[in-house]
Homo-oligomer: A and B are copies of this chain.
Amino acid sequence: MKVWKRIDPTVITRVGWRTVVTKTFRMPDDQQLEFQIFNPEDTQNAGCVALTADKQVIVARQYRPGPEKIMDEIAGGGVETGEDPRVAAIRELREETGYRPGKTVPLGVVYKDAYNNSTWHYYLCTDCELTAKGPRLENGEHVEVELLGIDDFIDNARQGRMTDTEAVFLAYDQLRKIQKQ
């Protein structure tokens, strides 16, 4: 199938602290159409499914202003300029939950939305330990750290109680394996 040809101009619109990018494409039928795509181009995010040595999943419980609900999220957030996504995932885990991982393996890379410029890098962190310093939350972050059994964590994802369901998919077979060990 043919890819669309992106053509000038690109228009950047800021609304508060968010960015909308208007991209124009020439489509396979030669029609030109504009699409508004959320977030700056090449936005990179990283997050981790993190477990303690006794197989408890470390969850960052927080209110989310899109759904307007308390969600049981995995730790994660934006990759800083020049930062390795793996380093960003581990940093976000430390900042949001106070835990540091023993071992970190990549789970995969996902585009969550057809109209969003963001890429998400996911990792599985095992043998996580609570550091002496604890969480270091940014302004506007209100996170409660919860430890959940693997079944409860998977059940949360199935019941729509987290916005990172795709990370649970990527970790699913390994979580089931860890349960049996």
Contact = CB atoms under 8 A, between A and B. Distances in A.
Contacts of A108: 158-160
Given A113-B66, A113-B163, A114-B64, A36 B22 contact: no
Interface residues of A, number: 63
Given A1-B61, A4-B63, 19 more contacts: A2-B142, A6-B68, A15-B15, A15-B36, A16-B35, A17-B34, A25-B65, A27-B140, A28-B142, A38-B116, A66-B111, A66-B118, A71-B114, A108-B160, A111-B160, A112-B113, A112-B165, A158-B169, A169-B172
Interface of A: 1-4, 6, 13, 15-18, 20, 22-23, 25, 27-29, 31, 33-38, 61-71, 73, 108-119, 139-140, 142, 144, 157-160, 163, 165-166, 168-170, 172
